[in-house]
Structure 1
Amino acid sequence: MDERYDVVVVGGGAAGLSGALALSRARRTVLVVDAGRPRNAPAGHVHNYLGREGTPPAELLGIGREEVAGYGGEVLAGDVVGAARADGGFRVDLADGRHVHARRLLVTTGLTDELPDLPGVRELWGRDVLHCPYCHGWEVRDRAIGIVGGPFGVHAALMWRQWSADVTLFRHTGPELTDDERRQLAARGVRVVDGEVAALETRDGRLSGVRLGSGEVVAREAVVVAPRFTANSVVLRSLGIEPVEMEMLGSVIGSYIPSEPTGATTVPGVWIAGNVANLQAQVIVSAASGLNAAAQLNADLIAEDTRLAVEAFTGRHDSLATIGPHD
């Protein structure tokens, strides 16, 4: 396989498909290579996506692939293991040994949620174990919610209190609370439980409570944790683009790839979009960033096409002075 494309999009989530759609509509030859491991696969539905509220994630991606294909774009299932400069563009290496050539790259590989090492968290992730109130708050409104504390425990407890009056902060490994923080939590009716969390208890496959190191079980219907958000950067690192750490409230929450507002990276010809660049982007934001990067990328290709056309045009004439009005 030695196909040549104007653009290879690495990652077929909302950002990648949105970018591929715009580029295909711009009459570019586009290939999307998708590993088939979307971050939001455990979630039942996509929320806050105007016009697609409540759509299952797999259904949204299926719609996107069909739209890209409808304008001539291609979608290939596979893993990209690296890329390198080649022939004025990029050679994109696939895990099965094949490679394709691209004039430009749009990398939308997303991030990985590194979950706390607590029994029960991974099994319930995306259903009863949550992290984003804007993604899942409505679905657990008025239920008994537990916050497994860390550096952001107080921040999370006060935020989730917007969706339920029954919020408990398990201080777990979080810092000692200040008098002001305890006052804020008490004023909002948030209960504080000291001591480390040992595990999450389940009943019939659903969360039933939080078990403390003492053996006590506090009944809860939903639990909030704070994953570490790590950018999926294998392809970008192969091009010399390194992730950097992101801090919030004085603590590191993960890593991301820095870029210009256009999505352009430090390597000419490589753009990024979605969660690999913005750890806090929800699906609709990722889709918008894919469109933005695609438009900027296409403008760069237009500039190159024009430069090459001028060189070829000039080469067909001895000088610009010989060019007539109809040449």
Structure 2
Amino acid sequence: MRHDALIVGGSFAGLSAAMQLARARKKVCVVDAGSPRNRFAAASHGFFGQDGMPPSKMIADARAKLLAYPNVTFIEGSVVGAQADDAGGFTASLDGSDRQQVSAAKLILAFGVQDGFPDIAGLRERWGASVLHCPYCHGYEFSGRQLGVLLESPHPPDHAMLIAEWGPATLFLNGNNTVEDEARAKLQARGVAIEPGRIVALEGPGQDLSAVRLDDGRRVPLDALFMAPRTRPGSPLAEQLGCAFDEGPFGPIIRTDAMKMTTVPGVFAAGDAAMMMHNATLASADGVMAGVSLHRSMVFET
């Protein structure tokens, strides 16, 4: 069966896009590998009507509601390749020994991103619990406690000024960066401490954080560490298809127009792989736009 739309990625962006197309009575296929970026977080915060819910449950509930539509197909797996076909659409190859193929008139790339972490002992295992990305998602739970911000070159130290809204903050330069006098003055005005030493380990029971240990042996008490990791696309599909990228502050971003169309006709992109700012609500909204835009393109394009 040929689908109207193939959506690669079934998390917040992909499922939101699929719902719009399902309700527009289009034949939709969603392929998802089951590894959403926020799988490490126990709860998602700030999402309309879902504050505090486990993201895995939010995704499962959304998938169940989507599959209530008879025109939707869901495949658990990964798309390992896609190309334009002779019918004017696209054919995608899935992983697995049988190399199943799925064809569709149009594509939505919603496969998200993968995070890259610095080589600091104890950091990866605390990601999503006490090592965090978005203060709007997790800052409230650490209100008034000792907060840290890890500065990853070449990013400016502005993030530390924001984190100070939630509690006393320390900016860790991690031995690699200097702070310009003007920025230093702004940080000091916000009450942000600046620690130039290099972090060698995070300490604390389980996934909790109690302190960071520096290369000179000092320990700085800390309850949460915020950082913005470098990211890369969660799939090579956009590059395979010839989509253009822009270099964002944390990694490459699939270039899209205001209607979420990439530089390749018939290919749309949504979610973290196609946005500079990342959180679940923004990804879902981006997916809605991509789904609506794909449907409108089928109606109005000549």
TM-score by length of 1: 0.86
Could you tell me whether the CA contact under 8 Å between 2:5 and 2:108 is conserved in 1? yes
User: Match of 1:41, SS?
Assistant: helix
Could you tell me whether the CA contact under 8 Å between 2:161 and 2:187 is conserved in 1? yes
- 2:158 counterpart of 1:161: no
* Letter of the 1:271 counterpart: F
CA offsets, 1:156-179, max 9 Å, x none? 221111001x22222213432333
Q: What is the aligned partner in structure 2 of residue 101 from structure 1?
A: 103
* Letter of the 1:186 counterpart: Q
% identity of equivalent residues: 38
Could you tell me whether the CA contact under 8 Å between 2:151 and 2:173 is conserved in 1? yes
- Which residues in structure 2 correspond to 1:234-313 (within 5 Å)? 234-247=236-249, 253-303=250-300
Deviation at 1:193, TM superposition (A): 2.1
Aligned equivalents of 2:273, 2:186: Cα separation in 1: 35
* Letter of the 2:90 counterpart: F
Aligned equivalents of 1:181, 1:281: Cα separation in 2: 24
Aligned equivalents of 1:298, 1:217: Cα separation in 2: 55
Aligned equivalents of 2:49, 2:270: Cα separation in 1: 21
User: Match of 1:192, SS?
Assistant: strand
- 2:122 counterpart of 1:120: yes
User: Cα distance 1:223–1:31, how it changes in 2: closer, same or farther (>3 A)?
Assistant: same
Could you tell me whether the CA contact under 8 Å between 1:7 and 1:28 is conserved in 2? yes
Q: Say which of 62, 87, 102 aligns to 2:60.
A: 62
Q: What is the aligned partner in structure 1 of residue 22 from structure 2?
A: 24
Q: What is the aligned partner in structure 2 of residue 217 from structure 1?
A: 219
User: Cα distance 1:204–1:83, how it changes in 2: closer, same or farther (>3 A)?
Assistant: closer
Could you tell me whether the CA contact under 8 Å between 2:134 and 2:279 is conserved in 1? no
Aligned equivalents of 1:184, 1:5: Cα separation in 2: 54
- 2:81 counterpart of 1:79: no
Computing the radius of gyration over CA atoms, which structure comes out larger, 1 or 2? 1
Q: What is the aligned partner in structure 2 of residue 46 from structure 1?
A: 44
User: Match of 1:207, SS?
Assistant: coil
Aligned equivalents of 1:258, 1:208: Cα separation in 2: 40
User: Match of 2:191, SS?
Assistant: coil
Deviation at 1:281, TM superposition (A): 3.2
Deviation at 1:101, TM superposition (A): 0.8
User: Cα distance 1:143–1:153, how it changes in 2: closer, same or farther (>3 A)?
Assistant: farther
Q: Say which of 141, 153, 165 aligns to 2:143.
A: 141
User: Cα distance 1:105–1:233, how it changes in 2: closer, same or farther (>3 A)?
Assistant: same
Aligned equivalents of 2:50, 2:12: Cα separation in 1: 12
User: Match of 2:185, SS?
Assistant: helix
Could you tell me whether the CA contact under 8 Å between 1:14 and 1:283 is conserved in 2? yes
Which range is displaced more, 10-19 or 284-293? 284-293
CA offsets, 1:177-211, max 9 Å, x none? 33333333333322222221111112344212110
5+ unaligned residues in a row in structure 1: which ranges?
248-252, 308-327
TM-score by length of 2: 0.93
Q: CA RMSD in A?
A: 1.7
CA offsets, 1:303-326, max 9 Å, x none? 46xx7xxxxxxxxxxxxxxxxxxx
* Letter of the 1:147 counterpart: V
Aligned equivalents of 1:284, 1:241: Cα separation in 2: 25
Could you tell me whether the CA contact under 8 Å between 1:168 and 1:191 is conserved in 2? yes
Q: What is the aligned partner in structure 1 of residue 190 from structure 2?
A: 188
User: Cα distance 1:57–1:302, how it changes in 2: closer, same or farther (>3 A)?
Assistant: same
Deviation at 1:223, TM superposition (A): 1.1
Q: What is the aligned partner in structure 2 of residue 92 from structure 1?
A: 92
* Letter of the 1:173 counterpart: G
